[in-house]
Structure 1
């Protein structure tokens, strides 16, 4: 009888490129491929250690002299919405949520294009065509869902209107919000905040303890909103800890702030059935 040994994940480092969060800096990522029958197990394990998924890749910032990017998650059981967040929930009470299989549609892409053109016209995804968009949504080796939010039909129409979308991974300990976009014309409705609040409610409904938000970056206006959520934790110094005072975290450069890549990889905890490979 032939036995196939599990393929051990190999870790690589990207070449430096311009940082999308802090002006004048270069970013570098530590990453590994996400594939095979143990992909979900690896995604679960590395998400707990600050990694994020993009299609079939797991990555974590590993910049040469900067450690500003901090993975963030919300403790669902301890979360209490602020007064402003309660108003956001009330303003969007008409929205209906539907979680579907990760399948891209033309309506999603049309909303995605409007969102990018309005909010991120000069970002790294600005030139993404419908085929690349479909790959972002559909190329997932783990348990993923597309969570759609629709508004009541406009006068004279029958179909509900697609208003917000979130690509979400279902981890063993939470929901990971991979990427979300929404109607850019509804600025006053704070749709981005609403989608996070609804994911907290969804995690509570299904008994998952965390909602993973991606990276919080002190000093970055793009990522500052995440610090407004109660019960927020950050992955810092190789452990999850309450964020405390956001102003206490710095984005200053420090030549010793990042350990050598070999040390970073050596500290990564892999599932028991996945041996480490150098």
Structure 2
């Protein structure tokens, strides 16, 4: 039995709201705050258990009637790009990558606005102003980097807010030039993060949630081998169609059982 101490992370559940991925579904999240000296260790430990970071919060879907959202990560050592992915890499050979500290700039925000207006005009971030954007980039209590990509004319073409974990890199949020559709920049950012992980000797690239049946998330299944976190374990995704049938109606364990099963780093217990 674990006893609560002043340093024990406290877990909460959000109120139900419409699911952004599957029509007619309701989402609910289990979350905890990232604060104090153990933030990095907690981010490492919970990311390996299906959690994602948003500013100073770690969260994981915990819907009452659905478990379609599953954290996904690419196993770097075994990844081999497809012919199409190799073409995308060649198309973007002119881009120059630069990693910076998590600091928001006006160029980033302008690119972010173009991206949202073109691709997510009705999404939850559509009204985000410069101050909110800066908070998204800068409010991080863990090891984070902003990875920028500039073209030959020094134009900012793509950006990704990336966390560095003890076992990989986590793509927290990315955005890119919407008028450069031929570049397939969303795919390229993932391919380049695979290279970043290889260069750093890290085994995984964390992609966020894969949702079978959601067209918005279908692209993640194109990166193989892809592992998904389901029923408390990482397992390789073999047949996306089978996962859709098996997991959409599955219910989660009660909240108290979910929290009891979370493995915390030693210093947080």
Same fold (TM over 0.5): yes
Structure 2 unaligned spans of 5+? none
Partner of 2:100: 100
Contact 1:75/1:209, CA 8 A, preserved across alignment: yes
Q: Distance in 2 between matches of 1:81 and 1:93?
A: 15
Q: Distance in 2 between matches of 1:6 and 1:85?
A: 48
Aligned-residue offset at 1:264: 0.3
Q: Distance in 1 between matches of 2:179 and 2:248?
A: 37
Alignment of 1:117-266 (within 5 A): 117-153=117-153, 160-250=154-244, 253-254=248-249, 257-266=251-260
Partner of 1:52: 52
Contact 2:63/2:251, CA 8 A, preserved across alignment: no
What is the SS of the residue equivalent to 1:21? Answer: coil
Q: Which has the higher helix share?
A: 2
Structure 1 unaligned spans of 5+? 154-159
TM-score (norm 2): 0.96
Q: Distance in 2 between matches of 1:164 and 1:218?
A: 27
TM-score (norm 1): 0.93
Aligned-residue offset at 1:230: 1.3
Partner of 2:115: 115
| Count of residue correspondences | 264
Contact 1:52/1:58, CA 8 A, preserved across alignment: yes
Aligned-residue offset at 1:10: 0.3
RMSD: 1.0
Contact 2:52/2:208, CA 8 A, preserved across alignment: yes
Q: Distance in 2 between matches of 1:62 and 1:49?
A: 13
Contact 1:218/1:249, CA 8 A, preserved across alignment: yes
Contact 2:176/2:186, CA 8 A, preserved across alignment: yes
Runs of 4+ in 1 over 2 A off after TM superposition: 251-254
Q: Distance in 2 between matches of 1:272 and 1:6?
A: 14
Aligned-residue offset at 1:6: 6.0
Q: Bigger CA drift: 40-49 or 245-254?
A: 245-254
Contact 2:226/2:236, CA 8 A, preserved across alignment: yes
Deviation string 1:166-221 (CA, Å, 9 cap, x unpaired) is 00000000000000000001111100000000000010001000000000000000
Contact 1:27/1:61, CA 8 A, preserved across alignment: yes
Aligned-residue offset at 1:267: 0.3
Aligned-residue offset at 1:18: 1.1
Contact 1:73/1:211, CA 8 A, preserved across alignment: yes
Aligned-residue offset at 1:24: 1.4
Deviation string 1:96-128 (CA, Å, 9 cap, x unpaired) is 000000000000000000000000000000000
Q: Distance in 1 between matches of 2:235 and 2:49?
A: 12
Contact 1:6/1:273, CA 8 A, preserved across alignment: no
Q: Distance in 1 between matches of 2:180 and 2:187?
A: 12
Q: Distance in 1 between matches of 2:143 and 2:101?
A: 9
